[in-house]
Structure 1
Amino acid sequence: MATGRNPPRFVPTLTEVVHAPPAATPAPLGVQGMTEEQWVHRIMQRVDQTLDRRLREAVAAVIVDQTRNLAPLLRAEVESVVREAVADALAGEMNAASLRSPKP
């Protein structure tokens, strides 16, 4: 089933050998001439910066979330302590008043 057209130049034919690309990839720009240790150090610096920022963001989000959850519990505890303190103060004043008043 011939179409009469020739295939484009960039399509390999059965008579051409297609070679795989080389296994080693060229070094990224700006890294030629660097030792592996220097390259790893630069990458680790970038990772450290990103990790530090993301950890701060994650910790801040957890603290905000925990504060929201803790606020009602703290409010209830403060209310209980204030009620107890007021009751104790009122009881103390009532005792003091009864001791000062003359007995019939």
Structure 2
Amino acid sequence: MSSAFILTFQQTELWLALVSRAQSEPDHVRLPLFSLLTLVQMTGFGVGMLLVGPFYIVWPPAQVIVLFHGLPLSTLMVIGVWLYRTRHRVPTKTTQLQ
């Protein structure tokens, strides 16, 4: 759920572009198109709930929340550090010779 939440806010421009495009369609296409967009958006929420549900049987709610919010946030941090390091890499002697 947290991953979908993060991606939703990360891709705001994409979602707004889709909604703007859907609004510019003719009337007979607009309702099915908005229905499809809503279905796609709610599917992510439903899949997240199905994945999280069994963990509530075994762990207390606080641990489940920390796990499923901590994993995507930690992954984003690791990817961010990795991207920063690859973009700001200092050339070594071996790469200077080539």
Higher helix share: 2
The structure whose RCO (Cα within 8 Å, separation 6+) is larger is: 2
The normalised TM-score by structure 2 is 0.35
Instruction: Look at both structures and tell me which one has the larger radius of gyration over its CA atoms.
Output: 1
Per the normalisation by structure 1, the TM-score is 0.33
